[in-house]
Amino acid sequence: MKGLNILLRKLIKTGAGRIRFAMAMIGLSVAMVLILSAVQLQSNYNELLHGSANKDSIANFLVINKILTDQNLKNATLSATEIDDMKAQSFTDAVGILSSSRFKASIQSSSAQFPFYTDIAFESVPDSFLDVNTQEWSWDESSSFVPIIVPGMFLDIYNFQFSLSQGLPQLTREVVKMIFFQVNLYDQNGTPHTMRGRVVGFSDRISSLLVPQSFMDWANNRYGSAGSSAPSRIIIRTKDAGDPGLATYLKEKKLSTDQDKTRFSRYRQVVDLVVKISGVTGLLMLVFAILIFTLFIQLTISSCKDEIKLLLTLGASPKQLLFFLMRQFFPSNLLIIFFSVATVCTLQYLAHLFLQDQEVYIPVYISLPTLLTAFVVLLFIWTVNFINMRKYIKINY
Amino acid sequence: MTISLHEVVPVPLKEKLLKQVSDIWNRAIVFNASEWIKIKAPSGTGKTTFIHSLYKLRTDYTGEIKWDNRNILTLSAEELAVVRQHKISIVFQDLRLFPHLTAYENIELNRVLQDPYCEKEQILEMAAVLGVTHILQQPASICSYGEQQRIAIIRALVQPFEWLIMDEPFSHLDKTNAAKAANLIADACKKRNAGIIITDLHDDDHFLYSSKLAL
């Protein structure tokens, strides 16, 4: 085979139209990088939405309540049917119920140097909906204090508004977590029951004073009024707060949520647009590159038409010539795919490093779909080349 | 392999050929394996047309040509290649060498088109016998016609075959060289137990023919 190939290389010169060949190669490379980038970008975005590494990722938690109107002022609760319906929606991953306290409560300082007192109400939420991960987040009757999660915003208000105007010291999150205070729960007769409490974390997700579910259940049972237990707020986890279906659903059911959370829908639109532009440009370029490549093959074969004809006359099989031609052209295609995959790998690695600093975690390696795409495109180019060559060899037959 | 013809008449020569008597055209005729057949014919009676039809280079004829009882028109390109690589070797009247390859490369190409039948050294031996050693490294295009004819003969002999088909293979050789070439061919055919179909304008005694036919 080796001897034959050397002779065939002398007869079938692939040197004709080198510039055209180079152009096709460059076009093919750019097209490949664009297509693979588009696929990789989509995978990265999916990873950000669903990946486990991104705990506080753009996977969204939305606190939802009914829009208050004059009609429902006293009864803005969500029924079990409404909650089930919410669960059944495609954009909903999980639904958690925010239970609110049905008793009066207050907190006050246990230190004379730093006096404060305020009436408050608590809420609780299933643990899986929390963005605070602390081992102190548990309570039973033997616990020495009640752990409380406070909205991060509260401390900001204190530090940057209240403390400045009142001449009080500013406090870091760590300092606040060290302060014990008194929690007073009032039973239905108004008798206070005092416990110790401490802030164990700050939530940026739920704007409410949160206590563990176990504490809430216990306290409601013991001190709470027998009033309605229907929740007025629920929290849902969704893959994509920017889902248009979600927005429509909320509007239809007259529900409201934190509008700001939907800002991620902007990101999604941008990612979608970039993926589409990159993908479509890549596909178009691929089509043109393959077209040029096809012309190049046609040119090569027609420029040595006589040789091919005589080879076939002497007994060379069309298959032999086809394999020879494939061997001439295919390695360059393979090289391009390798080059494109390597480029996308490098880009991915750089993006990984860059985004790591921004505390966004995308994988170091390119995704399987990206590799598969490279393989599929390679197969496609191979098939197109194969069909073309067979066709042009047949013409000479 | 047997080669058989059934009332074959080339379409372009039809009117002319049907008026004259021929041993081949418009007859049923069988060439059995290992037969050495001479076909004598004056110019213009379709010698090359006959050779090309036998080799399936042209198909513009009526009737049937069969290789081993298989109509050659039904062969696929791949099947045809197998036959040309292993069963039928040919020396064209117009030689058909690759002009840009050297004489040696022209021969070598036919040797390596399939699993080589003979060793490389045999090319040199045959070239020495036919006195073309000195032109082996020259491009075929600058060799004289007589030299090209001998290269074409050697090229035909480096592959395996059951039939050797030759179209006026000695037309440009002097008597001595023709005799040398004929000996070489006869040896190669005996070694393979192969048949010969040779066309020429004149009578000759280059080979011990099993039959002599007139077109």
Q: Which residues, 6+ apart, have CB-to-CB distance to B72 below 8 Å?
A: B56, B65, B66, B80
* ipTM for the assembly: 0.94
| B 151-190 residues inside an 8 A Cβ radius of A | 159
Domain extents for chain A? 2-55+266-395, 60-238
Number of cross-chain residue pairs from A and B with Cβ atoms under 8 Å apart: 54
B157 CB neighbours in chain A (<8 A) are none
Contact: B113, A10; criterion CB under 8 Å = no
State the nearest Cα–Cα gap between A312 and chain B, in angstroms. 7
Is pLDDT above 80 for B148? yes
Contact: A11, B82; criterion CB under 8 Å = no
At which residue do the structure tokens 């975690």 appear? A361
Nearest alpha carbon to residue A188 among A217, A221, A224: A224
Mean pLDDT, consecutive 10-residue stretches, chain A (397 aa), reads 84 75 85 89 78 52 83 78 86 85 88 81 86 82 88 87 84 88 88 90 84 89 77 81 76 76 64 84 86 83 89 93 88 91 94 84 88 92 89 80
Model pLDDT, residue A55: 47
Check if B134 contacts A (Cβ < 8 Å). no
Task: Measure CB to CB from residue A7 to each of B82, B109, B159 and give the nearest one.
Answer: B109
The residue of chain A with its CA nearest to that of B85 is A315
The residue of chain A with its CA nearest to that of B110 is A314
Contact: A310, B98; criterion CB under 8 Å = yes
B84 CB neighbours in chain A (<8 A) are 313-315
Binned at pLDDT 50, 70 and 90, residue B76 comes out as very high
A10 CB neighbours in chain B (<8 A) are 100-101, 105
A7 CB neighbours in chain B (<8 A) are 101, 105, 108-109, 112
Separation of alpha carbons B108 and A126, rounded Å: 83
Contact A75, A379 (CB under 8 A): no
Query: Which residue type occupies A306?
Result: D
Surface-to-core class of residue A62, CB atoms within 10 Å of its CB (0-12 exposed, 13-18 middle, 19+ buried): buried
Most B CBs within 10 A among A2, A6, A7, hence the mutation to make, goes to: A7
Contact: B100, A10; criterion CB under 8 Å = yes
Q: Give me chain B's average pLDDT, please.
A: 94
The first and second tokens of residue B137, run together, are 């490294």
Contact: B85, A318; criterion CB under 8 Å = no
Torsion-angle region of A132 (φ positive above 0: left; ψ -120 to 50: alpha; else: beta): beta
Model pLDDT, residue A82: 85
Contact B136, B127 (CB under 8 A): yes
Check if A322 contacts B (Cβ < 8 Å). no
Contact: A4, B110; criterion CB under 8 Å = no
Question: What confidence tens digit (pLDDT) does each residue in B38-50 have?
Answer: 999 888 888 999 9
Check if B199 contacts A (Cβ < 8 Å). no
Q: Provide mean pLDDT across the span B129-137.
A: 96
Domain extents for chain B? 36-45+73-214
State the nearest Cα–Cα gap between A3 and chain B, in angstroms. 7
Torsion-angle region of B202 (φ positive above 0: left; ψ -120 to 50: alpha; else: beta): beta
Surface-to-core class of residue A37, CB atoms within 10 Å of its CB (0-12 exposed, 13-18 middle, 19+ buried): buried
The residue of chain B with its CA nearest to that of A312 is B81
Q: Tell me, what DSSP letter sits at residue B45? A: S
Q: Tell me, what DSSP letter sits at residue B101? A: S
Separation of alpha carbons B213 and A274, rounded Å: 79
Check if A303 contacts B (Cβ < 8 Å). no
Separation of alpha carbons A66 and A89, rounded Å: 17
Most A CBs within 10 A among B92, B107, B109, B154, hence the mutation to make, goes to: B109
Separation of alpha carbons A380 and A290, rounded Å: 10
Helices (H), chain B: 14-19, 47-54, 77-86, 103-112, 120-130, 145-157, 175-192
Contact B46, B206 (CB under 8 A): no
**3-class SS letters over chain A:** CHHHHHHHHHHCCCCCCHHHHHHHHHHHHHHHHHHHHHHHHHHHHHHHHHCCCCCCCCCEEEEEEECCCCCCCCCCCCCHHHHHHHHHCCCEEEEEEEEECCCEEEEEECCCCCCCEEEECCEECCHHHCCCCCCCCCCCCCCCCEEEEEEHHHHHHHHHHHHHHHCCCCCCHHHHHHCEEEEEEECCCCCEEEEEEEEEEEECCCCCCECCHHHHHHHHHHHCCCCCCCCCEEEEEECCCCCHHHHHHHHHCCEEECHHHHHHHHHHHHHHHHHHHHHHHHHHHHHHHHHHHHHHHHHHHHHCHHHHHHHHHHCCCHHHHHHHHHHHHHHHHHHHHHHHHHHHHHHHHHHHHHHHHCCCCCCCCCCHHHHHHHHHHHHHHHHHHHHHHHHHHHHCC
Contact: A315, B110; criterion CB under 8 Å = yes
Q: Tell me, what DSSP letter sits at residue B131? A: T
Angstrom CA distances, A148 to A194, A212, B54, B152, stand at: 15, 8, 99, 99
Contact B201, B40 (CB under 8 A): yes
At which residue do the structure tokens 């490279």 appear? A374
Q: How many CB atoms lie within 10 A of CB A39?
A: 23
The first and second tokens of residue A19, run together, are 């510039």
A11 CB neighbours in chain B (<8 A) are 98, 100-101
Check if A9 contacts B (Cβ < 8 Å). no
Separation of alpha carbons B143 and A355, rounded Å: 71
Model pLDDT, residue A1: 65
Q: What is the sign of the dihedral through the CA atoms of A25, A29, A30 and A35?
A: positive
The first and second tokens of residue A234, run together, are 């629920």
B77 CB neighbours in chain A (<8 A) are 312, 317-318, 394, 397
Q: How many CB atoms lie within 10 A of CB A23?
A: 16
Check if B98 contacts A (Cβ < 8 Å). yes
A13 CB neighbours in chain B (<8 A) are none
Q: Which residues, 6+ apart, have CB-to-CB distance to B128 below 8 Å?
A: none
Separation of alpha carbons A382 and A330, rounded Å: 7
The residue of chain A with its CA nearest to that of B98 is A307
Task: Measure CB to CB from residue B57 to each of A4, A313, A318 and give the nearest one.
Answer: A313
Contact: A7, B105; criterion CB under 8 Å = yes
Nearest alpha carbon to residue A148 among A219, A223, A202, A187: A202
State the nearest Cα–Cα gap between A314 and chain B, in angstroms. 7
CATH classification number, B36-45+73-214, choose in 3.40.190.10, 3.40.50.300, 3.30.2130.10, 3.30.1700.10: 3.40.50.300
Contact B156, B87 (CB under 8 A): no
Contact: A319, B78; criterion CB under 8 Å = yes
